[in-house]
Chain A
């Protein structure tokens, strides 16, 4: 092991982790997993049936899966966006049932990622988690707190598979209402073969300030290929949900096609924060959609680093009067990475407001494209939308396109759009360096300043991790 500044800290954490691991695993609610089971490579209707059977699902879910599979076969790949021809859909494994023991050992993780972890000073506990271990040990205290709150207020917070077993009517009532299988090829694929993901139900009026974090769902599948997440926020309730991990998430699977549906009822508030940093073999093709009813607010906070190709355009359907939707995103694309992301704001009721702030950094030949839609339907009188795209290109080889689509079918609405693509400002760089900062340090500070509006919206530990990661990404960007 390399000696890093954090080596000592890591040793301590590892020691604590060992102690906590026993306690955590005993205290945590266990999902009763069967031994490893795999449907092999490729996909057909029998495999879809086998998945449903292995999970002991109700008949309606099997039918959902089968009709989605038919839809998947009918649909073609998206007619826009990055090249997906490298995606070999026939040789993938669509379902493997994990055990609640680590499925991978640290020894199996590629050396390049291990080096990355060392450079980052990722604590040992987190490394074990990333390597496939099931629990985030240090979270025990927070977990207990969350668990108490969850039980006290009647919040349901569990894995999607568990929710389907325990609350089948609730799941059925909302299933596919925002993202029908017919929406796109990968939504259809997800619906046919989904596994894992989060189910979160917040009763009316319940306001939880502490962010609910996905990794507190101990023993659930953490980085499933086809996660399905459903969040229902009843009238007047407040929730802040955080998922993801800032450290590179090593995955042997080359496709991740998640579907997320968020229902934000009257005067409710929901924030959904994601940080993703896939390893560079992954196609991340996600469909995330939220509905905001009258007076409700839906906020997406979305950070994307890594992957081979990402296509992700979280949307908010502003379906009730005065609803508000926001998207704040940061994308960092290095060598060989194409991040095609943005947001969709659908103004479908009077006096609705939306804001999209998209920040991106492309370096070493990476590409970050903003692709966003703002639609004002004929019901959107008095509505307002703001779109702001800000990109830094670190070198000549990197690319960025801004592709805004504005559809306006109502004559008393207002919209602002600002887009800026620039290099790192030489005047700013010169100024910082004239105070003694090296070019590398000055560049790092400018990048961190650029990212700051995003980072300050994150829970502290995520902000620290994100900053650390971006700093590391930037070393090597300076020639």
Chain B
């Protein structure tokens, strides 16, 4: 059992020398085996929350704590957090020419293994091919340069591919549904669902209820103005579809 706790988290970004607070006291606890969804309007701090959990240096924690299994991770570098079990499927993963997808994913897998337990190419490729097949991605995606020239949908699938290969304890999926057609959405959701189980937890960030028809969450949170204004079961997402975010969080 693992546990990720967000405790009264305050986060700011600095633009043109001016620090601006984005998160103003977020509280959230996720246990393994659970799927949480965060919904809410644009510019409300959903991506800030996911980037901050991962350790993006552009976001400054000004108050509160993030704890993994009771231990604060605020002083851990992004790579240490990754090796501790966190994974972020990014909204806009960068393209990197010159590094093949296979080479990158193998390095990621091996970064979690000791020097004498490294996975060689011969053992790695069959597993990668299996996952490519699962996500209905052509095998040549393995040898293409990382995200270079990938379509929006291919990038999203490639994030899920990495998650399936790495098998993290906590996955944060930041708008994994944006830019996906209905077939791709179904495939991506099936990939995420295949990770479900007692050893895995996920935090799904989305604008739209549509994704949650495919990945049914245990808990739905609504974020607005840098705080969580409401939490509930999967029915909350359906309700929001009808009523919108307007009425929530009004003081």
A residues touching B (Cβ–Cβ < 8 Å)? Answer: 425-428, 430-439, 441-442, 445-446, 448-453
Beyond known contacts A434-B82, A449-B98: 11 more, CB 8 A cutoff: A430-B56, A432-B104, A434-B87, A435-B107, A436-B82, A436-B112, A437-B111, A438-B79, A439-B77, A441-B107, A452-B97
B107 touches A437 (CB 8 A): yes
Q: B residues within 8 A CB of A452? A: 97-99
Secondary structure of the A contact surface, majority rule: helix
Secondary structure of the B contact surface, majority rule: mixed
B78 touches A433 (CB 8 A): yes
Q: B residues within 8 A CB of A425? A: 94
Q: B residues within 8 A CB of A438? A: 79, 111
Asked if B83 CB lies within 8 Å of chain A CBs, one says yes
A435 touches B98 (CB 8 A): no
Q: A residues within 8 A CB of B98? A: 448-453
List residues 87-115 of chain B with CB under 8 A from any CB of chain A.
87-88, 90, 93-94, 96-99, 103-105, 107-108, 111-112
Tell me how many residues of B have a C-beta within 8 Å of chain A: 28
In the complex, what's the smallest C-beta–C-beta distance from B29 to chain A, in angstroms?
23
Chain B, residue nearest A451 (CB) = B98
Q: A residues within 8 A CB of B94? A: 425, 427-428, 431
In the complex, what's the smallest C-beta–C-beta distance from A409 to chain B, in angstroms?
36
Q: B residues within 8 A CB of A450? A: 98
Asked if B205 CB lies within 8 Å of chain A CBs, one says no
With A433-B78, A435-B108, A436-B112 in contact, do A449 and B97 touch (Cβ < 8 Å)? yes
Chain B, residue nearest A439 (CB) = B79
A437 touches B96 (CB 8 A): no
Chain B, residue nearest A442 (CB) = B79
Asked if B162 CB lies within 8 Å of chain A CBs, one says yes
With A425-B94, A431-B93 in contact, do A437 and B108 touch (Cβ < 8 Å)? yes
Asked if B12 CB lies within 8 Å of chain A CBs, one says no
Q: B residues within 8 A CB of A451? A: 98
B90 touches A431 (CB 8 A): yes
Q: A residues within 8 A CB of B97? A: 449, 452
With A438-B111, A442-B79 in contact, do A430 and B96 touch (Cβ < 8 Å)? no
A-B contact pairs, 19 of them (CB 8 A): A425-B94, A426-B57, A427-B94, A428-B94, A432-B104, A433-B78, A435-B82, A435-B87, A435-B105, A435-B108, A435-B111, A436-B79, A436-B108, A437-B108, A441-B107, A442-B79, A449-B96, A449-B99, A451-B98
Asked if B54 CB lies within 8 Å of chain A CBs, one says yes
Q: B residues within 8 A CB of A448? A: 98-99
Q: Give Cα distance in the complex from A442 to B97, angstroms.
A: 14
B77 touches A436 (CB 8 A): no
Chain B, residue nearest A456 (CB) = B98
Q: Give Cα distance in the complex from A430 to B99, angstroms.
A: 15
Q: Give Cα distance in the complex from A459 to B125, angstroms.
A: 25
